[in-house]
Amino acid sequence: MNLAFQKFFRDLKQGKVSYPQFKKKRDNAGSYYIGGDQVVLSDTNKNSKKYKKIITECNAQYLKVPNLGYVKLSERLRFSGKINSVTISQNGDKYYASFSISIAKENYQPQPKTKLGLGIDVGLKSFVSLSNGLEIKSPKPLAKLAHKLKTKSRQLSKKQHPKTKGDKTKKSANYLKASLKLAKLHRRIANIRNDFSHKLSSSIIKQADYICLEDLNVKGMMKNHKLAKSIADVSLYEFRRQLEYKAKYNGKEIIFADRFYPSSKTCSQCGSIKKELKLSERIYCCEDCGVKIDRDYNASINLLRLIEKQIGQVLPEFTPMDLTAMQSDLAINRVVTSKVEVGIQQKSHL
């Protein structure tokens, strides 16, 4: 609050009015912060006067929330260390406690080194095409649940509620119920997307030491109104963000190709570059050497070659054993993969 008033007086001298405003309250959403010095955890529910005599469930843990008391956590903290802060947030009918904890380096076990490299070509038709021949499609939860989302949004708009800024109409009980149902559906879509991104990024970090991606201008791509919805549904930037921080934690290296690097137009066999390549052309046909190869797979191989050029050494190839290990890891997490052959895509097991 003090910083907000300092900004207010500073702006006032320049003729601007920026009086501090409290955070707006919205239906089924909100958050607040608890400092690390105020965080108290307990293995017993101290709200009860007889808590010393109560035998609690195994692995139960309680968090003391100011002005509320002890609240049971759905799971115990998985890390031990100094708690810097806790942010409690609401999403629909769910409440989340996000802990910021400082832990020692020796308590974190990074993924083992493999000395393998992966070129990753991201897109809309196939979310990722890997240089080891695997192709993985996004679940696209927004596209699958779009009809249900429209239906619930339409139902919500017909309930009694203020429709303009100055409207003093009170929100009806049915409006609050409908808004909760809509919030649940939005949460479901976000959870499916995040679950897929985390499982895929973790598997890639586990299998490869060197990773190469294109430095895509996602913000600029979102300005294309024909593709914006599809781009948002696959969450390209979030996938990149997860890869970056997981690589940093595990001592892996990520290389970004220049935005104008012609990974799709370059032949992975002879290195010749096509002048034009339409988006509708899914098979890359080289006019010089005559090779025919899947367009996205061709781009991923070129990105792998860029890794070798950057680090100055030839990387070992993925063996059938390495490929099987990655497929098994993804299959355990229910991520569907397919194997790309030269110009042909053959489906493999789940």
- CB-CB contact of 209 with 250 (8 Å): no
List, for residues 122-142, the tens digit of each pLDDT value.
988 889 999 998 999 999 999
Domain for residue 152, yes or no?
A: no
pLDDT value at position 346? 40
Residues annotated as catalytic (active site), given as ranges: 121, 214, 296
Tokens, residue 60: 């139960």
DSSP structure string for 154-165? HHHHTSS---ST
pTM: 0.82
Q: Are residues 128 and 219 in the same domain?
A: yes
pLDDT tier for residue 348 given thresholds of 50, 70 and 90: very low
Domain for residue 149, yes or no?
A: no
Q: Are residues 211 and 320 in the same domain?
A: yes
What would you measure as the largest C-alpha separation in the chain, in angstroms? Answer: 83
pLDDT tier for residue 51 given thresholds of 50, 70 and 90: low
Domain for residue 164, yes or no?
A: no
Q: Are residues 123 and 241 in the same domain?
A: yes
pLDDT value at position 347? 41
- CB-CB contact of 243 with 213 (8 Å): yes
Domain for residue 38, yes or no?
A: yes
pLDDT value at position 153? 95
pLDDT of 27 over the 70 cut: no
List, for residues 261-284, the tens digit of each pLDDT value.
888 888 888 888 888 888 888 888
Q: Sheet containing 41-42: which strands, arranged edge to edge?
A: 41-42, 62-65, 69-72
Domain for residue 11, yes or no?
A: no
- CB-CB contact of 94 with 109 (8 Å): no
pLDDT value at position 146? 94
Question: Which amino acid is present at 231?
Answer: I
Mean pLDDT of all residues belonging to the chain: 86
Q: Are residues 78 and 96 in the same domain?
A: yes
Domain for residue 9, yes or no?
A: no
pLDDT value at position 108? 81
pLDDT value at position 53? 47
pLDDT value at position 341? 62
Task: Quickly tell me which residue has 């569907």 as its tokens.
Answer: 336
Boundary residue ending a domain (107, 125, 157):
107
Among residues 31, 45, 47, the alpha carbon closest in space to that of 85 is found at: 31
For residues 155-167, give the mean pLDDT: 89
Q: Are residues 101 and 205 in the same domain?
A: no
Q: Are residues 221 and 98 in the same domain?
A: no
Q: Are residues 87 and 233 in the same domain?
A: no
pLDDT tier for residue 350 given thresholds of 50, 70 and 90: very low
pLDDT value at position 49? 58
For residues 39-49, give the mean pLDDT: 78
Q: Are residues 69 and 26 in the same domain?
A: yes
Domain for residue 49, yes or no?
A: yes
Kindly report the CATH number assigned to the domain that includes residue 235. Answer: 3.30.420
Domain for residue 226, yes or no?
A: yes
Boundary residue ending a domain (107, 131, 161):
107
Q: Are residues 61 and 204 in the same domain?
A: no
**Lowest-pLDDT choice from 5-9, 141-145, 208-212:** 5-9
H/E stretch holding 297 reads helix 295-311
Share of residues in the chain with pLDDT > 70 (%): 91
Q: Are residues 265 and 125 in the same domain?
A: yes
Boundary residue ending a domain (88, 107, 126):
107
Q: Are residues 221 and 336 in the same domain?
A: yes
Structural domains counted in the chain: 2
Among residues 131, 109, 114, the alpha carbon closest in space to that of 325 is found at: 114
Please give the residue range of the domain that contains residue 38.
18-107
CA distance 288 to 312: 27
Give the three-class secondary structure for 191.
Answer: helix
pLDDT tier for residue 301 given thresholds of 50, 70 and 90: very high
- CB-CB contact of 269 with 291 (8 Å): yes
CA distance 303 to 318: 15
Query: For the chain, what percentages of helix, strand and coil (3-state, to nearest 5) are there?
Result: 35, 20, 45
pLDDT value at position 339? 82
pLDDT value at position 119? 93
DSSP structure string for 124-154? SSSSEEETTSEEE----HHHHTHHHHHHHHH
Q: Are residues 204 and 83 in the same domain?
A: no
